[in-house]
């Protein structure tokens, strides 16, 4: 997808410090978030929502494994781990965003369907079906991401950038050289923005319906707090993913070194989605309910 990771020693110190701070916060906070939510494994794993949340935890965990290497690069200013591993680390942040987005959409769509059809929760018939559905989503993403990573990453570098083992590749030039890659980025960004807008409108409509139904008693209704959980996931998408994808459309259209640095910063902001599990923490301050209740 063209990461645009620039590991040249000329990266302004302000950018390096900012990126170091962001990734440090994400690594620590994301790890704590997942640790506090690990008890979800004890809940109903046949629930579609629970399965999606478990997959989210795995997505965050796999991504967080690569964060120390990003911290290493921004602290040292050079890459000494080889170009192939650089490709993996660079690609993982995109894979994390897209996989997380897919599972957010699954969670929200299931919760919206449960509201409109008055299901308590949507379940797979067997645990094996849940495993198969998860494998299908991961498989599709790997089929798309791995070939693009192997073929495109490092294919192009800036004219004045020397490729060596101390650098990760500069992918920005690929947008000028390969218009199909630029078009693919436009399509993906537009799709994420449109889907987010549709989900946001649906969420607002549902909250309006809940308010009209309960009005003065709304804060005592479990249905309301269940929708607040959905709203939290919706806000994670809006805050973490939408700004980056809006900016990326401009970045792909007007690539330059200055925008590349801004793209790296915007991309780093998407990793704050690792805090999403905190939406299930402190639920007692809203209304007492167990994990299964909050997920269904």
pLDDT digits (tens, 9 = 90+) for 4-62: 444 344 577 888 899 999 999 999 999 988 887 776 555 555 567 777 888 888 899 99
Angle at 142 (CA atoms; ends 136, 146), nearest 5 degrees: 165
**pLDDT band at 213; cut points 50, 70, 90:** confident
> For 197-221, what is the mean pLDDT?
86
Angle at 271 (CA atoms; ends 205, 274), nearest 5 degrees: 70
Residue 287 confidence (pLDDT): 40
Are the C-beta atoms of residues 247 and 266 closer than 8 Å to each other?
yes
Q: Which residues on adjacent β-strands are paired with residue 123?
A: 47
Residue 267 confidence (pLDDT): 92
Are the C-beta atoms of residues 277 and 233 closer than 8 Å to each other?
no
Lowest mean pLDDT among 14-23, 71-80, 116-125: 116-125
Task: Give alpha helix (H) positions in 37-170.
Answer: 48-76, 83-117, 127-152
Return the DSSP state at 280. G
Are the C-beta atoms of residues 226 and 291 closer than 8 Å to each other?
no
Are the C-beta atoms of residues 172 and 250 closer than 8 Å to each other?
no
**pLDDT band at 174; cut points 50, 70, 90:** low
Q: How much of the chain exceeds pLDDT 70, in percent?
A: 70
Residue 237: closest CA among 191, 199, 283 = 199
pLDDT greater at residue 41 or residue 157: 41
Rounded CA-CA distance 278/33 in Å is 6
Rounded CA-CA distance 46/40 in Å is 12
pLDDT greater at residue 201 or residue 296: 201
Three-state secondary structure call for residue 47: strand
Residue 178 confidence (pLDDT): 60
User: Whole-angstrom distance between the N-terminal and C-terminal Cα of the chain?
Assistant: 34
Residue 168 confidence (pLDDT): 65
pLDDT above 70: residue 294: no
Q: Which two tokens stand for residue 234?
A: 């919706």
Rounded CA-CA distance 145/180 in Å is 15
Beta strand ranges found along 167-290 (DSSP E): none
pLDDT greater at residue 149 or residue 5: 149
Residue 263 confidence (pLDDT): 87
What mean pLDDT is reported for the chain? 76
Q: Which two tokens stand for residue 17?
A: 């410090």
Residue 162 confidence (pLDDT): 42
Three-state secondary structure call for residue 123: strand
Q: For residue 293, give the H/E element and its range.
A: helix 291-295
**pLDDT band at 175; cut points 50, 70, 90:** low
Are the C-beta atoms of residues 218 and 210 closer than 8 Å to each other?
yes
The CATH number of the domain covering residues in 13-291: 1.20.1070.10
Residue 202 confidence (pLDDT): 93
**Phi (first) and psi of residue 47, to 5 degrees:** -65, 135
Q: Which two tokens stand for residue 293?
A: 């209740």
- Tens of pLDDT, residue by residue over 246-273, are 999 998 888 777 788 888 899 999 999 9
**pLDDT band at 161; cut points 50, 70, 90:** very low
**pLDDT band at 173; cut points 50, 70, 90:** low
Rounded CA-CA distance 134/13 in Å is 41
Q: How far is CA 167 from CA 58, 117, 210, 257, 265, in A?
A: 29, 54, 54, 16, 18
Boundaries of every domain in the chain: 13-291
> For 224-246, what is the mean pLDDT?
90
pLDDT above 50: residue 157: no
Q: How much of the chain exceeds pLDDT 90, in percent?
A: 26
Residue 292 confidence (pLDDT): 44
């Amino acid at each position: 997808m063209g990461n645009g990771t620039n590991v040249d020693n000329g990266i302004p110190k302000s950018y390096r410090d900012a990126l170091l701070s962001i990734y440090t916060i994400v690594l620590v906070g994301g790890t704590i978030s997942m640790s506090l939510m690990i008890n979800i494994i004890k809940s109903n794993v046949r629930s579609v929502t629970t399965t999606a949340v478990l997959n989210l935890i795995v997505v965050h965990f796999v991504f967080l494994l690569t964060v120390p290497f990003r911290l290493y690069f921004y602290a040292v200013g050079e890459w000494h781990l080889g170009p192939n591993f650089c490709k993996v680390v660079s690609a993982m942040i995109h894979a994390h965003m897209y996989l997380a987005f897919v599972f957010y959409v699954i969670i929200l769509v299931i919760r919206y369907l449960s509201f409109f059809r008055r299901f308590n929760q949507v379940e797979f018939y067997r645990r094996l079906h849940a495993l198969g559905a998860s494998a299908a989503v991961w498989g599709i993403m790997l089929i798309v991401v791995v070939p693009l990573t192997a073929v495109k990453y490092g294919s192009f570098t800036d004219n004045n950038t020397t490729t060596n083992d101390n650098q990760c590749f500069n992918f920005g030039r690929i947008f000028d050289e390969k218009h199909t890659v630029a078009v693919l980025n436009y399509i993906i960004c537009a799709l994420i923005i449109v889907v987010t807008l549709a989900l946001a409108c649906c969420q607002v409509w549902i909250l309006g319906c809940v308010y009209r139904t309960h009005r003065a008693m709304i804060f005592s209704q479990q249905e309301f707090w269940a929708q607040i959980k959905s709203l939290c996931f919706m806000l994670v998408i809006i805050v973490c993913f939408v700004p980056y994808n809006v900016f990326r459309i401009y970045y792909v259209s007007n690539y330059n070194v200055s925008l590349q640095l801004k793209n790296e910063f915007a991309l780093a902001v998407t990793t704050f989605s690792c805090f999403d599990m905190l939406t299930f923490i402190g639920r007692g301050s809203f209304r007492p309910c167990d994990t299964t209740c909050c997920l269904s």
